[in-house]
Structure 1
């Protein structure tokens, strides 16, 4: 609970009774019927004077689940996509952790827990998400520079939308999340466990809720509304749809998540902090690797295809990565140097390429 939000910012995730989501959360002027505020937008003032800058924004899965990002896409009513102004580009890195992961390419990622910063303190029960942001950020830095200096347009914005049916309600059924993925119980998808909503506070008559200015006289403030959130839909592996093309989504080794699960009693990662057990672990994305062989995944009851069924051989995996990297490059979301590095990383990886594999995902007896 935040008690000094008028004078400081204890945590960017916003604890209970902490201001920070007041006023428009979107760029373009748009209605705010739920909170009863006049239409507005972050760029409203500079649009009136024609002094708005060129803007490139990029974020990933962790920002959806912990930082309430989808309100900026669909508003407080959550029933319409908000159009982007011409001076703004938006790029969503699907199934990624906050700031991107380490980019490791291995069939045996370290099985160690991760710390949960933010509101739900504890340890995450799933492995750390390796999906990197480096390649996309490199491309967008070049794109923004060329846009500013030469008026060369960046690649088209890509993010999950209602129109494309890649942005849905935060439920297991609406997302299409597969049942039986090891380590992911259905209970994580309950409303009280899964996603942080925007809370609409009444800070009192001396506070301007549109501009977040003035004297908040209500302490603690009443909660007037819980703003509806949306999340990306997922594919049969549980990986997010929408957003920019990535090697990890198009040639995956795991289910990659923008969220993790706070460990509780009975979990190997449990650290004696039970308060948020079984709830989403903020900021830190998780991953659940695929089994190597079909027999292994059937024995475990895992609905996701194994590496054997997907790629067959190390060469098959390299071919899939090559196709995925070329696709991202050709669509304009990856530099040539980063494309080549991703392919080289796959060639050098241990995926179906460990001692005794003979380059096969299932070398047999």
Structure 2
């Protein structure tokens, strides 16, 4: 009897402890409703949305979590594990048997959902509920289950429904706050007296507060350009504060400058920050959330009910810009294998991420920070190794590849890097496939494909007004049509081992990837258009001895080394890029489309690139002095000549599997409805 009591007691004690693999401990569903009022999407039928919150705990001593910066300094529960939570939003076929078996995970960007905007041509929505939010219904007609979860601890709850993640704050072993040096760069496009540390029009992120609003050791400088010497701003002429209605309001994560900040000037603040989030748990939580939805089989435990149980046999991750950098970094840190050694994602479609990763897993990490030619050059978001195949930096002696931590564990994920022209100019995309000196092409990993969408810009199709730019902005639409084909090819590769289209990107050995000087020599003459004299070349940065292994910076700001050498795509006689996926508006062109634009000089930063914007330069209708491009009336003597050239391009892209049939037909219909291109461009 004593033995039985002892066994029973041990059993109860073990039952009260979390499993060794209790990554998701509770699913809290707040809403489960028909999507779009039960609208039937083709053969898949109706969809439903399920939303709520996931609760996690992780073992800080597990090998799978070894790369999470400061994890062992996070608060622990009674079982020695670290707890956190994340919002989730799921769209799934109401009848799972009618789905296609694929879980599509859309990495949110600053809390916003982008997959429906991208693949379905819908308006962006933080809470998709209506048929309008479904756009053209592509993802639903194809039967995908679409998942979003919070991962980014610096997203601010602004009441709009952004996805949040509750990540813990790291503490010293004695429970006292962790403090340390931090660097913030601010550049404004219009005069302002104050600004949050990490303001963004797409969603301002929560910065790390100063330890003391009156800290006399904090230092602020300003400079008119990247090459100009910094000017120290006296401490009594700036403050940690907002300026509202003529009054200073103390804010430990905002900067006020007496007399206002000048547009185009670079303001650099070094101060002592406190309370770093354990940001790497965002990556671990993403891993564990997807593993739960993909693998968890339902039991009688209602706290762990999986709305996708048995519905998906594969998973693909998709991300744009910051979200794409997150995916690359996720793979680099080895998170694509969960604590039970299971594969998380079979494939990834990484859009407009350049060669970058990010500040996703370090002390005082900020996901929103990235470098361009003008901004945030001292951000270590773009760091070696850049490529998914082995490379060496002859200057530092470093070697490696961004998939090294995944090699030998499971099958490597299949990766698409889909770039626009802007990524070569402003996000160092050439480093994905050249050596770091820009002298030779690298052999791609067999599981990696790289595609350039020629002439497109990072932000997608824009209105042609100038905004902050000197020239018209780029209206070339690429995201929906090309990315629908890309997702289809990725799913075919993952599910049926059907090889995708061959990579299509500029190469040194083919003469389609060149230095900036070579590009300047070949670009056509266009009246009033100056060719850039700069492009983004990430710097080798030294953040100190603890950075690589622990994610802790000792050199703040970092010590600056030699820049990596980046290259840009060549262009034809029209100024349109020769390599890559040439959409009909580029192949049967009526204008020059560029992935670069220059800043409006009235906004400061003269001669600098206008960040992530591209340009648009319509062809002249008739021969024009100073314009070396063939005019429209000579290029297309009749409307039928234009339509024939356009149709040939569409047919070629469809044959190469860069356009689905429905998009090919849509483009042909669109072209037939256009004005005759030999009319004066509007």
User: Fold-level match, TM-score > 0.5?
Assistant: yes
CA, structure 1 residues 88+112, in 2 after alignment: closer, same or farther (shift >3 Å)? same
Structure 2 distance, partners of 1:328, 1:29, is: 32
Q: How does 1:169-208 map to 2 (within 5 A)?
A: 169-173=515-519, 176-178=522-524, 180-185=525-530, 188-190=531-533, 194-208=534-548
1:35/1:76 contact within 8 Å kept: no
1:258 corresponding residue in structure 2: 595
Residue 322 (structure 1) aligns with: 647
1:244 equivalent in alignment to 2:581: yes
The residue correspondences of 1:112-131 to structure 2 (distance < 5 A) are 112-114=465-467, 123-131=468-476
Instruction: Give ranges in structure 2 of 5+ residues lacking alignment.
Output: 1-183, 186-269, 274-358
Structure (1 or 2) with the larger CA radius of gyration: 2
* CA distance, structure 1, for counterparts of residue 566 and residue 377 of structure 2: 17
3-state DSSP class of the match of 1:171?
helix
CA distance in 1, matches of 2:392, 2:619: 44
Q: Contact between 2:371 and 2:377, CA under 8 Å: does it hold in 1?
A: no
Q: Does 1:32 align with 2:393?
A: yes
Among 84, 87, 90, the residue aligned to 2:444: 84
How far did 1:283 drift?
A: 0.7
Q: Distance in 1 between matches of 2:578 and 2:474?
A: 17
Task: Report SS of the residue matched to 2:433.
Answer: helix
Could you tell me the TM-score, scaled by structure 1's length? 0.81
Q: Deviations over 1:143-176 (max 9, x none)?
A: 0111111111111111001111100001255661
Calculate the TM-score normalised by the size of structure 2: 0.45
Aligned length, in residue pairs: 319
Query: Following the alignment from structure 1 to structure 2, what is the Cα–Cα distance between the partners of residues 292 and 96?
Result: 23
CA distance in 2, matches of 1:258, 1:64: 8
CA 1:350–1:241 in 2, change beyond 3 Å: closer, same or farther?
Answer: same
Mapped to 2, the partners of 1:337 and 1:113 lie a distance apart of: 32
Partners in 2 of 1:99 and 1:47 — Cα distance? 33
Q: In structure 2, how many angstroms separate the alpha carbons of the residues matched to 1:7 and 1:246?
A: 41
Q: Tell me, yes or no, if the aligned pair for 1:253 and 1:289 is still in contact at 8 Å.
A: yes
SS at match of 2:516: coil
Question: Does the 8 Å CA contact 1:175/1:233 hold for their aligned counterparts?
Answer: no
Q: Which has the higher contact order (CA 8 A, sep 6+)?
A: 1
Which ranges of structure 1 fall in alignment gaps of 5 or more residues?
103-109, 115-122, 266-272
Question: What does 1:1-365 correspond to in 2, within 5 Å?
Answer: 2=185, 3=270, 6-9=363-366, 10-13=368-371, 15-37=376-398, 39-101=399-461, 112-114=465-467, 123-133=468-478, 134-173=480-519, 176-178=522-524, 180-185=525-530, 188-190=531-533, 194-208=534-548, 213-265=550-602, 273=603, 275-294=604-623, 297-298=624-625, 301-352=626-677
Q: Which has the higher strand share?
A: 2
Alpha-carbon contact 1:126-1:183 (below 8 Å) kept = no
Structure 1 residue 83: Cα displacement: 1.4
Cα distance per residue 1:78-134 (max 9 Å; x no partner): 1121111111121110111014316xxxxxxx76213xxxxxxxx102112122222
SS of corresponding position for 1:225 = strand
- Are 1:34 and 1:77, in contact at CA under 8 Å, matched by a contact in 2? no
Distance 2:422 2:521 in 1: 16
CA shift at 1:227, angstroms?
1.1
The CA distance in 2 between the partners of 1:77 and 1:342, in whole Å, is 40
- Distance (Å, rounded) in 2 between the aligned partners of 1:111 and 1:225: 37
Judge conservation of contact 1:35–1:225 (CA < 8 Å) in 2: no
2: CA distance between counterparts of 1:54 and 1:113?
38
**CA displacement, residues 267-321 of structure 1 (integer Å, 9 cap, x when unaligned):** xxxxxx2x21232111111110001223xx24xx211111101111222111110
CA distance in 2, matches of 1:241, 1:319: 20
Asked whether the 8 Å contact 2:485–2:658 carries over to 1, the reply is: yes
Contact 2:532 2:607 survives alignment (8 Å): no
Over residues 39-74 of structure 1, what are the superposed CA-to-partner deviations in whole Å (9 max), with x where a residue is unaligned? 211111212224311112201111111111111121
Whether the aligned pair in 2 keeps the contact of 1:62 and 1:98 (CA below 8 Å) is yes
Contact 1:144 1:154 in 2 (8 A): yes
